[in-house]
């Protein structure tokens, strides 16, 4: 489309650059909203796991504790790796025996 014989200039509203990528402000807002919600939910879930440490209410072994923290560490590493390479997903898989 041209105006008065000159090529039209299209402006993209609400964009910013971050690490060489153009990110729409809307995408950033959605990321922040979801990240805040999901990280807070994860923190609450981890706190609930910590509640299992009460020996007067629960019986567990050192092996149980090691398995729990190995699973959590494995999933945190997988999550971090996905930010570096967003290909593929892992399914949650943890079960004490």
pLDDT per residue as tens digits for the range 66-82: 999 999 999 999 899 88
Whether residue 69 sits in one domain with residue 44:
no
Q: What's the domain range around 79?
A: 60-97
Whether residue 44 sits in one domain with residue 13:
yes
> Each residue of 15-62: pLDDT tens digit?
556 555 666 788 999 999 999 999 999 999 999 999 999 999 999 999
Residue 68 lies in a domain: yes
Residue 3 lies in a domain: no
Residue 1 lies in a domain: no
- Indicate the SS3 state at residue 16: strand
The reported pTM is 0.64
Structural contact between residues 45 and 57, judged by C-beta atoms closer than 8 angstroms:
no
Burial class (CB in 10 A: 0-12, 13-18, 19+), 79: exposed
Whether residue 12 sits in one domain with residue 46:
yes
Strand pairing category for 21-24 and 15-18: antiparallel
Residue 47 lies in a domain: yes
Residue 19 DSSP label: T
Asked if pLDDT for residue 83 goes beyond 90, the answer is: no
Whether residue 66 sits in one domain with residue 44:
no
Place of tokens 């990321």: 31
């Amino acid at each position: 489309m041209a105006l008065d014989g000159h090529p039209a200039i299209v402006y993209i509203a609400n964009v910013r650059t971050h690490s060489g990528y153009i990110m729409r402000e809307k995408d950033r807002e959605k990321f922040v909203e979801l990240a805040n919600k999901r990280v807070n939910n994860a923190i609450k879930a981890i706190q609930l796991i910590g509640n299992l440490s009460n020996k007067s209410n629960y019986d567990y072994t050192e092996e149980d504790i090691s398995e729990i923290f190995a699973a959590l560490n494995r999933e945190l590493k997988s999550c971090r790796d996905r930010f570096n390479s967003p290909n593929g997903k892992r399914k949650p898989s943890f079960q004490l025996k």
